[in-house]
Each structure stands twice: as C-alpha cells, then as structure tokens.
A and B are shown apart, each in its own frame.
Chain A
Amino acid sequence: MIQETQLRERCREALELTKKHGADDVEIYAEASTAISTEIEKQDLQMSSSRQETMIGIRAIVDHRIGFASTNALEDLEATCTDAVKLAKASPSNEHNVLPEPRPVEALSELFDPQAEAFSVSDAVRHAIQIIELAEKKDPRLVLGNGEFSVDMTGRCLVTSRGIDLFERNSLFLYNALATAKDGDVVSNMAFGFDAVHSVDAIDIQAIVDKACDDALGSLGATSGESFAGPVLLAPQAVQAVLAGFLSFQLNGKNVLRGSSRWGKMLGNAVAHPSLTVVDDGRLSGGAMSGAFDREGAPRQRFVLIDKGEAQGLMHNTFTAHAMGTTSTGHASGSARALPGIGPSNFMILPGDQSKADLVAGMKQGLLVNRFAGSSNPISGDFSGVAKAAYLIKDGKIDRPVTGTLIAGNAFEMVKTLSGISSETERVFTAILPYIRLEGVSVTAE
C-alpha cells in the first residue's frame, strides 16, 4: 500500500529544505509506484517481475531562474534540494518561470481499484496464460510473438510553495498481444491488441486477443497491391500513427511559442473538414490517462482542440500560458524525473455519422490501412510509409489483403479534404479514435 501520509510528509520536508537553501518558490512532485508484470514470448511465459520506486522531482525558482533535480534516493533528499537551488542560481532568468496558483481540483473516484492492492505475481501470470490460451484456441495458425500483462499502482503527490497540496492514487492494468499468422510458408503482418483499464472488473483479455488475432489472420495471403492516387481508409491504429501526433503537435502551446506550429495563429479559423472534432478529456471515465490534476496541479478538464473543423484551443502548461497571457489548460505532462512538458491526456477524435461499412462501400478503388510504419512530420505535415495489414477495396467491397504498399500525403491538406469519419471508435494506447477516410493519398505498390 502506498502511504499517502508518508509521501506528503516527504514532499513537505523537501519543500522546506529547498526553501531553506534559498529558493523563492518550490514545487515538489513525487511518484511512488509498485509494478508487477509477466511477459510473453513465442507463446510461452517469459520473465515475471516486480518493481518499486519512489521518485521525487524538485523545481526550484530563484529570481525567475529555474533548476530541476530529481532522485529516488530519499535518504539523501537534502542533496537533491541543494542541487535544484544550485542549478537555478546558475541559470539565466526568464519572466515566465513562475509556479501556478492553486485552483479548485475535484477528485476523480474511479482511478484506483482497491482490489489491485491484493494483486500478486500469480495473478499476472494467470492473466498472461489466458492471453496465450485464448490465442491458441482461436486458430492453430496463430503465433503469439509477444505480449505482457502488468499492473502499476502509483500514488502521486504535488506540494508547492504557492499552496498546492494534492495527492492521487491510481491503479492501471495494461495488457497487450502481438500476433502473427502462419499458413505453410505464408506469413501475415504482425497485428497488435492493447488495453489499459483502472479496475480488475474491467479487464477484458478476450477483446485484445480477438483484435490481434483477427487482424493477423485477415492479412494472410497478402499479395502485391495497386498504385493509384485516391481514397485511403485509415483504421484507428493508423489514424494514431499518421494524424494524432500531427494534430496535438500543431495545437501545443510550446510549438506555437517556438514558431513551429502553423495553426497557432489560426484559432477560430477552419483548419480541417467540418466533420472533424478533436477533444482532449483529462477526466474521461475509464480513460487510461485520466487524473484530477496535471503535472503542475492545474485541474484536468474536457478541452476542445478542434470544433467542427475550427481550431479552438491550444494546450498550455503554466510557462506557455504565462508567456501567451492566458491560464494553463491542465496539459502539463511528464513524470517526477523531468520538468513538466505539454501533452494530451485522453486524446479523442469524436465519432462521425457513417459506419465503417458505409465508408468502405463508398470507395470505388481504395485502400484500408490497419497499421502504418513510417514517418509523419508534424511541422511540414508530410507523411510517408508502409501500409501494414492493408486491404485493397474495389467497387465498395474489401477485395484482398495487399503487402508492400506505400502511402504518402500531407496532413494539412488531407484533414481539410477528408471524406468520412466512422461512428465506431477504438482505444489506441491513450487515444480514442475512429476510422477516417482521406482523399487523394498517393498509393504506390512496390
């Protein structure tokens, strides 16, 4: 059990020590974690492990100069406090180096499942065996190359000289399966299933095994595709690789300040097709990244980034908000090992009104792409790479699996001209994403 009282006391102690050594303002962020995991390799159990660590990160401000020091060696906490002050005193000053004032934070109740406390290595092993057995039962042609079942229990505590004093407990069960199908000499693409849930009762092994195995089996027997410029239907995992990083980069306050975001100056203007609405919800029920407060103690919220194609909001932490004359949006991200960055929590592209089947039916010649392995440059918007587990679509029907097919395009243009968003969504790591049909994508068969 992670002791709240103990962790708070260590944080308050570190706060006083850092002030004693000369800091004007201090932020102490601590994470105490225990983790249990069992790995799977080639359809067999691999190593099981358990880990525990308490990490404390100290941000000291002296005359608007910042120093950051972190440690897990708590018996030597004072040395880390003096390091932070020393680093601050040696640094140049910046008027935007400030700590946030306390704001009301409403606790989230469903982040921690008390049943997780009793979870042991044997429970992790039992779930890992279930992943293997479900895959084996499904089809003899399947090979479960890799997988893992783990539980992380974390208590995080934030105490600042401005009066923020917060604690939150979290349990997260993470499990994944990576499957390939083999039929004689024919080998499918790798396919991936993943989920992250906060409670024991929400664990659904069958769903991720089905996802990985069905995708692997479906792509068996893929042959060379066709070259054309036209519609490409990206499945949620491909949407994540091609578009999610681009969208959150463009609406990140830090990138706007650096001048590397084109959308920074376009708030209130159309940047995408009117069917596209993008939301980051830091309090999403069941969301893997949900929490009551961000890395700096600002309240997490449901925040609209793009509303019906219009750029609506930029994600800020305290630094970028101060520099741009606004308040933090609760997007300070990162661990106790580093200074706060900026990032989304539960990133969502809201569902559209057409089913996946309708989107397929609307393509005369097109490509369905389940995964994407390549690069997507968030500054230029250019993306290019290999379409994995891809299917050729002919006359509104899935024709056959194809291999060795490259797709390329530009995200700035294609989010404007997209022609459909599915009503179905799937969780991809921490994002919740639909199928999206892009137009005019360059498709090249090798």
Chain B
Amino acid sequence: MQELLARIAAQSSGWIELRYQGRSTKQIAVRNGELEESSSKRIQGIGIRALVDGVFGFASTTDLTEGGILKAIEAAQGAARTSASAKKHRIEDLATASFGVGSFPVPTQDPLDAHPLEEKLALVLRIDNLIRSGSASIVSSTTSYGEIQDEKYIVTTDGAKAHLFTSIPEFRVMAVAEKDGNQCFGNLSNAVTGGWSDLFADRSPEEMVDYAVAMAVEQLSAPHPAGGTATVILDPGLVGVLSHEAIGHTVEADIVLGGAITAEKMNEKVASELITMIDSPHTEYSPFATGILPVDDEGVEGRKTTLIENGILRSYLHNRETAAHFGVEPTGNARAFEYSDAPIIRMRNTYIEPGKASLEEMIGGVKDGYYMCGLGFGGQADSNAEFMFGVREARRIVDGKIGELVRGATISGNAFDVLMSVDAVGDDFKWDLGAGSCGKGQAAKVDAGGPHLRCKATIGGRQ
C-alpha cells in the first residue's frame, strides 16, 4: 500500500496528501451483570487532500485500487478548483517541515490481539459483579472495555512517507449507590497507548472498583461544599483537564485566528512563573500516554512544543497552514480521527512540568481549602478560557490536613487567572485523562496530566 501511494504521489501534479487508515475496534459493555454490547468494527479507506490555486479540497474513498485512488484524487482536486474562484483568502504557502519517514510501531511487549475475546469479556463480567458486591448500598454497576488499533500510511508529494501504528485499550467502571431514594455515583477509567498489561500497570481493575465503590458510598452522606473562592490543590487529573480543556484549546492556532483570548498575548505573562506547559507527541516522565503521535496526519514529525515557559506564553499549536501564516515551524498537531476526516489542529499529550514541592508540604501549607481529584460530571470551557468542571472527588483541607469528602463540587474561573495564582507545583507526575476523547467536530485520543498544583479557584456547590 505504501509503495502504491508513493508511486501515485510521485506521478501527481500539484500538492497532495494521501492517508490510508485501517482501524479495528472492539467494545464490550456490561451493566448490572447483563452484557449490553460485544462488538467489533473494521474500517479502512483513504483520505486525500489536494491544494489547488491556494485552496484545499478533500475526498475520501474505500476503493483502495489504483483506479479508485486516482478517482478520489481527481475529486479532491476538483473540489479545490471549484471553490478557488470564489474564495477570498487563498493559502499562499504551506510551511516547510521535517517530514516523517519510516515505520513507527507501538512499543508494547503484550499486544492486544494476543489476548482472546473470552479473556476480555470474562474480565468485564467479573469486575462488574465485583462492583455490585462491593457494598450493600450499591444499586447499579457499569463496566466496559474498548480498544482501538490503527495502522496508517501517510504520503505527501513533498516528502512524508510514514507507516504508523497505534494501540489504545481502555477500561471504565461506574458504581451507583443509593440511600433513601438519593443516588450518588463513583467512577474511574484507565486508558493507555500500549498493550493489555500496560492498561493496568498503574492501577488494577480491582483497585478501580474499590475506588468507584468507596466514592459512590461515601458521597451518600457527604455534605455539599460552601461556594466561594478557595485555596485548592488540584491532582494531576484535574491539572490535565485544566491544561487541555481550558488552556490548550485557546492555543490551537485555528481557534486563535477565530478570536481566542490568547490572540494578543504571545510572549506575555499569562501564568505564574512556576508554570511551564507542554504539548508533546511523546510520553515524558511516565509511559503509556494516549496522545503519542510521532508523525501527524500531514506527515509532519511531531515536536515537543512549549506553550507556556515560566509563565510566559511562547507558542501556539500549528498545522502547516497556520505555521506559514504565523511564520513559524509546524508543531505536528494536524490530526484526523478517521480516514474520512480531514486533518485539523488537535492536541496530543498536554501537561504541566513538575516542580519542587512535595504533596505533604503543599497540603501542610493550607489552613482552609480543598483537595480536588479528577473530572466529575459535566464541564465546559470557552475560547476565552472561562471554564466550569465537575469534580470527581473533593475533600476539605483544614489546618494542613485532608478532611471530609464533599459532594457535587464544581470548580470554575478563568484558567489563566487560576494559573496566575499557582504558588506551589508538585514534584510528582501522572498522565490521568482516563478513557476520554477530545471532541472538535471529530474525535481525537489525547492525554493530559502533570504534578499536583496549589492555586486559587471558585468552588461551587449545589446549584
């Protein structure tokens, strides 16, 4: 396939990008001991972008013969040509880049396909039963396993020729506890780039169950927090959500051009000098991050990108078009979820660099505040960096000690104000976005994380 694509590219007139993707997915879902879904999906196809007269056109096809691919190239070029006469702003040039060449396998010793379906199904059923036997208060359980395996070839007329693989398994548990008609839930998910044993390297399914059950049951008798501004310690999960959702999207160059709050802030102070934020195609500090992307879907080699350096905004995230517009090098952030999607600017692994403080010191320095872990129910963020997230687990901190659990807490504010208020950055690190996907018209597997942070934010209780 790669040779066919390379030959076709070599014979083409004008710039084109050919991207073959073969994807196989599996999904197993069990609810209250009953199997709700056991399914597999295999899709393959080619997505083609052509640049004609300064305008992109796109076509996708499942016809993988030479004739089928040539027909799709014509369609993409035709689509570009048709709109060129009426387009007001043409693309003058695409930024040059270091292109990906070669093969990029998944680094795992324990491939998913080495484990039969029966093993995966048995695990999901066993864990789902374990949730319901976890406490007499548990009234409902949901457990699911999913996996995505991709193979891609990316070839462009200006030099990319990459063969890439991805393998992302994920596991989710949810427990619902009830008392006097009042329901609370606890949940947790794991996801990794890697194989079967990598999925549970950080926490076993049993540990996930223990956490979800404890969280559901404990919340039944927990009070709601008092609203207002407070000193909070965010765990790596929430630091990741804040970095990705509330900051990361505002530095995607297409969003910047659409009028994000960051448009006028390049090289200005936007956060405490303790903060250095990165978006990386690699998995620094800890293995298995789900946004690993050695070569992006424009064929550009991924570069570790420093977004904020010691509090100063240093870079946006680019594709080749926006990099040319801003006169910088592309960062390797152009991504397409399926073959039929055109690449757009997306994050990869977004994190805050670890600092020097121990978690004990950070907690010890709080007289009255909260320790907040993980994304809970609901959340939204705008391109002005205003955000509101539900918190999975929030506990009071009183006189330097972690105290009681509170339920239904939310955290909100302007993400840059929150980062400006940071007075301690932990010396630890974790990827902890769980099994979620980022949505921007199409999905993307991304990860995020960091150390613990101490900052100020607005806490909301019951609406």
Could you tell me which A residues sit within 8 Å of B by CB distance? 38, 41-45, 47-55, 66-74, 76, 79-80, 83-84, 86-88, 90-92, 94, 120-122, 125, 129, 145, 258-259, 337-339, 373, 375, 382, 384, 408
Contact = CB atoms under 8 A, between A and B. Distances in A.
Given A45-B55, A49-B76, 18 more contacts: A47-B83, A48-B57, A48-B58, A48-B82, A48-B83, A51-B61, A52-B61, A53-B45, A53-B62, A70-B39, A71-B42, A73-B42, A73-B43, A74-B62, A79-B42, A92-B34, A121-B78, A338-B39
Looking at B41, B88, B121, the one whose CB has the most chain A CB atoms below 10 A away is B41
Contacts, number: 132
A226 to B, nearest CB: 19
Given A92-B35, A122-B82, A408-B463, A49 B58 contact: yes
Contacts of B75: 50, 121
B258 A38 contact: no
A49 B42 contact: no
B342 A49 contact: yes
Nearest to A406: B463
A237 B443 CA distance: 25
Contact of A94 (B34, B88, B378): B34
Contact of B60 (A45, A48, A51): A51
A382 B183 CA distance: 14
A45 B81 CA distance: 12
B204 interface: no
A386 B87 CA distance: 36
17 contacts: A44-B87, A44-B88, A45-B83, A47-B56, A47-B342, A49-B57, A50-B59, A53-B45, A69-B39, A72-B42, A80-B40, A84-B40, A90-B117, A145-B258, A258-B32, A337-B41, A339-B37
B1 interface: no
A69 B62 contact: no
B179 to A, nearest CB: 15
Contacts of A54: 62
A373 B62 contact: no
A68 B38 CA distance: 6
Contacts of B342: 47, 49
A128 to B, nearest CB: 8
User: Top 9 closest A-B pairs, CB basis?
Assistant: A49-B58, A48-B79, A68-B39, A384-B463, A71-B42, A51-B60, A44-B88, A121-B79, A45-B87
A74 B43 CA distance: 10
A321 B342 CA distance: 41
Nearest to B60: A51
Given A145-B258, A384-B463, A52 B60 contact: yes
Contact of B35 (A47, A80, A83, A94): A94
B380 interface: yes
Interface in B334-387: 340, 342, 378, 380
Among B78, B82, B258, which residue has the most Cβ atoms of chain A within 10 A?
A: B82
A44 B258 CA distance: 13
B89 interface: yes
B215 interface: no
A38 B59 CA distance: 12
B42 A76 contact: yes
A416 B445 CA distance: 43
Contact of A71 (B34, B43, B61): B43
Given A48-B58, A48-B82, A382-B463, A72 B45 contact: yes
Contact of A125 (B32, B62, B82): B82
B246 to A, nearest CB: 16
A121 to B, nearest CB: 5
Contacts of A49: 57-60, 76, 79, 342
A373 B378 CA distance: 12
A90 B60 contact: no
Contact of B62 (A72, A83, A88): A72
A120 B82 CA distance: 10
A107 B84 CA distance: 42
B253 to A, nearest CB: 13
A87 B83 CA distance: 46
B35 A42 contact: no
Interface string B25-61: 0000001101101111111110000000001111111
Given A52-B61, A86-B117, A69 B79 contact: no
B136 interface: no
B65 to A, nearest CB: 10
B419 to A, nearest CB: 23
B125 A92 contact: yes
Contacts of A55: 43
Given A52-B61, A70-B41, A129 B86 contact: yes
A92 B56 CA distance: 49
B118 interface: yes
Contacts of A47: 55-58, 79, 83, 342
Contacts of B38: 66-68, 87-88, 90-91
A45 B83 CA distance: 7
B192 to A, nearest CB: 24
B41 A69 contact: yes
A444 to B, nearest CB: 10
B80 interface: yes
A344 B38 CA distance: 24
Interface hub of A80, A90, A125, A339 (most chain B Cβ within 10 A): A90
A246 B57 CA distance: 40
B79 A90 contact: no
Contacts of B44: 72-73
Nearest to A93: B35
B220 to A, nearest CB: 15
A109 B56 CA distance: 37
Contacts of A90: 38, 117-118, 121
A125 B117 contact: no
A133 B79 CA distance: 20
A105 to B, nearest CB: 26
Nearest to A49: B58
A16 B248 CA distance: 50
Residue picked from B37, B39, B76, B82, most chain A C-beta under 10 Å: B39
Nearest to A83: B40
Contacts of A83: 40, 42
B340 A38 contact: no
Contacts of A258: 31-32, 140
A145 B32 CA distance: 45
Nearest to B378: A375
A74 to B, nearest CB: 8
B340 A51 contact: yes
A87 B61 contact: no
A121 B82 contact: yes
Given A50-B75, A73-B44, A373 B380 contact: yes
A410 to B, nearest CB: 11
Contacts of B125: 92
Select the residue from B59, B79, B380 with max chain A CB neighbours within 10 A.
B79
B82 A339 contact: no
Contact of A80 (B42, B121, B258): B42
A73 B41 contact: no
Contacts of A44: 87-89
A49 B117 CA distance: 38
Nearest to B26: A87
A74 B62 CA distance: 9
A249 B268 CA distance: 48
Interface in B152-182: none
A25 to B, nearest CB: 16
Nearest to B125: A92
Contacts of A87: 38-40, 117
A91 B120 CA distance: 11
A226 B57 CA distance: 49
Contacts of B34: 92, 94
Interface core residue of B32, B40, B57, B58 (most chain A CB under 10 Å): B40
Contacts of A120: 82
B376 to A, nearest CB: 12
Nearest to B33: A92
